[in-house]
Structure 1
């Protein structure tokens, strides 16, 4: 009980709540000197300052790490998907823009089929370009030279040349565009021919020729182009045009050392016998062969 009372008196003294009489009584106790020393040392003690910066740093250091977020472009699967999209785009680009090319070199003929099974035969020194992709909706091709077409029935078809355009629907026809001369022959069905501002529709057994201002229409009896069976048919053509065609068919070089000849030739020449072909040309145009070595030939006036 006594200990409790002493603690109560000490608390009142420290708090400064004793009366004057109580203080005198307390000071006369044997423990008072000890209490004074404790109070002096206690007053010199100082609680540490509250360091907010240190607390913040400590909190940051020990807090849980935030979940790692992988950016879209760093994800493995996202990169794979992106590469796939790029490759798909490139594939579509090439399929829609790249053209297929068929070439018949001089001295050769080439046959091939279009995506709809239409058949084409290219004559010597000719070339065709077209797009295989989406062919059914873009049935057009570009021709340089001469070609024979057997178009699948019921299929619209367009042939573009530097001289004119031919539009058909399920037919067989031949197109020849050389220099300024444009020849179109229909062997089955009918075709529409556009040359400059002129439009002509021809049917089976009809052939038309455009040469600058010259226009000619004639009937034919052949069932297919003669050049497909090793013959060339000329219709009122100049010497230079005939020589050009012989060079293509025989893959040779023919030089004309003669005066200008305005005579026109209509007839047939073989494409598998150069001696016979040159013999006919020399006879008609009054020429002779002055040199015939390998693939080089020189024709001069007789």
Structure 2
């Protein structure tokens, strides 16, 4: 009798992998991504992934390149499969043939101060205006904005508590007086609507017991950008990029910006120096130096005759 195989990881293997990731404090999004990549590999294989060979992994990566899969997706699959075989299945030799693709980092899209003001002003309602204000005024990630609670706003110390941000790290973000005023406007409106629960979400979703979704925030930003006539490709994360870039242009120390953004490595924060206009403007072009040298003698030369 033929054995029927499945194209998805079996439940026992999936649960074991989830347990291994939980023990290592992997975030919810990372866990979902890893399971998704393993499921994709199993679908390619046509049988449970724990029966794979090194040659199967090689064929899978070749197929990914032939399908023009993005480097980020390929590298995500490499990380997931390395974890599956190296940690969960205790077969580290399987991961030796997996190849990481070099990614060329793209220049980040940044709004000007005037564009950021127009985008926030064009927000579809006070809730989204306050959420945009948190993204641009405090530099929070989309997921961090969505999971803010009312009690996370510390108006006494003028701080925003970010609990279990990226990498499951807690940190404090800045709270400016104008941002506090904007949040209070939304809090009063939310109370009037009956959606602002005591100790509840600062930005409730369609149900006041659930937080706003990242998809809702993305849609609101796109709607506001269109209304404001901004032609750049923007997302909620664009406001975070703009926050960091504008601080850098105000000569704020890059290490301070690193802490505010919650970056583990200074190199991640240094990416913003590539889009800072003031950083470029502070450098004298060699062409300007040549022209200054050429013009110098002209000023001191005596007129003929």
Shared topology, TM-score over 0.5? no
TM-score by length of 1: 0.23
Counting helix residues as a fraction of each chain, which structure ranks higher? 2
TM-score (structure 2 length as normaliser):
0.23
> Which structure features the higher share of strand residues?
1
Larger Rg, first or second structure (1 or 2): 1
Structure showing greater relative contact order (alpha-carbon pairs closer than 8 Å, 6 or more residues apart): 2
